[in-house]
Amino acid sequence: MPHSAGLSGVFSPVLTPFDAQGRPSTERFVKHCRWLRGQDVGLAVFGTNSEANSLAVGEKQKLLAALLEAGVEPSALMPGTGACALPDAIELTRTAVQAGCAGVLVLPPFYYKGVSDEGLFRYFAGLIEGVADERLRIFLYHIPPVAQVPISLDLIDRLLDRYPGIVAGVKDSSGDWANTSAMLERHAPRGFQVFAGSEVFLLRTLRGGGAGCITATGNVNPGPIVDLFKHWQDADADQRQAGLDTTRAIFQRYPMIPAMKAAIAWQSGDADWRHVRAPLVELEKSQADALCAELEKSGFSMPNAKSLAA
């Protein structure tokens, strides 16, 4: 299969649970990661839906250490290590590489807007050379709707020319299929692994030779997403895709991170799963009730969700 070389599959930017005091809940985090691994989902911890940019470097390092101590295999981990401050990115990336993680997912430095490809190239080059470890595998994180700092096709070519093998792939969260398709056509032949940023694009990505998806709703709907990845060449693949689209659309009618946490709180019976870190806020009760009613009507369920409770 064209997408079988290198890292592939379904990854989830793992939600970070917090306690009532706003501290990361390590116990819930480990349980959630184990639950996801039980359904063959890779762990893109410290991604957008992890509230990663609301976490300190030290908090991320402690959570990563807790996963490793709990026996989660490093080959399933693709931590988000991008940061506006290059020294922070180097420190966290080095931690991930030394732990044996399969790769790292790296945002561009996103505070300054309108920066040039030259500036972004210097950032990624500085990260690679600062870590200085041949085991490093970087997956670029292209998310212009949020970061407002795009990673251009030309920049990817330049990075692949300079750092072949180390610059291993991309998560395309542009929401623009034309861009994902261009990455597949232009870069995948060079061994570059293209992941869709949502399961909505999973089937198209696989049919185009892509690697899979790294998707928010992998946190709450992992089984059906993984099933499509495993059976994308079957006759019912389009029907499976339509089912994924339906569930995704329900969550997208609400602020995604609080909505997914509300769903886990409902399914697990653990109300503390609702907590988010400022500036995010929890769903209002009326919103959470409406979300859960919609999900229940659609037949949504999270198998063994009680295991996610603290």
Of 31, 60, 171, 261, the catalytic one is: 171
Does residue 171 have an active-site annotation? yes
Helices (H), the chain: 26-37, 57-69, 86-98, 117-131, 144-147, 153-162, 177-186, 202-207, 222-230, 237-252, 256-268, 285-298
The answer to whether the CB of 37 falls within 8 A of the CB of 11 is: no
- State the DSSP H helix or E strand holding residue 42, giving kind and residue range, or none if neither: strand 42-43
Q: Which fold has domain 9-232?
A: TIM Barrel (3.20.20)
pTM of the model: 0.96
- Cα dihedral 273→46→218→26 (10° resolution): -40
Q: Is 242 exposed, middle or buried (0-12, 13-18, 19+ CB in 10 A)?
A: exposed
Annotated binding site: 214
| pLDDT, tens digit (0-9, with 9 covering 90-100), for 147-205 | 999 999 999 999 999 999 999 999 999 999 999 999 999 999 999 999 999 999 999 99
pLDDT of residue 97: 98
Mean pLDDT of 48-72: 98
The answer to whether the CB of 43 falls within 8 A of the CB of 77 is: yes
Does residue 31 have an active-site annotation? no
pLDDT of residue 6: 77
Annotated binding site for pyruvate: 214
pLDDT confidence bin for 80, thresholds 50/70/90: very high
| pLDDT, tens digit (0-9, with 9 covering 90-100), for 178-191 | 999 999 999 999 99
User: Domain residue spans in the chain?
Assistant: 9-232
| pLDDT, tens digit (0-9, with 9 covering 90-100), for 110-127 | 999 999 999 999 999 999
Of 60, 123, 141, 254, the catalytic one is: 141
Residue with tokens 């040039």: 116
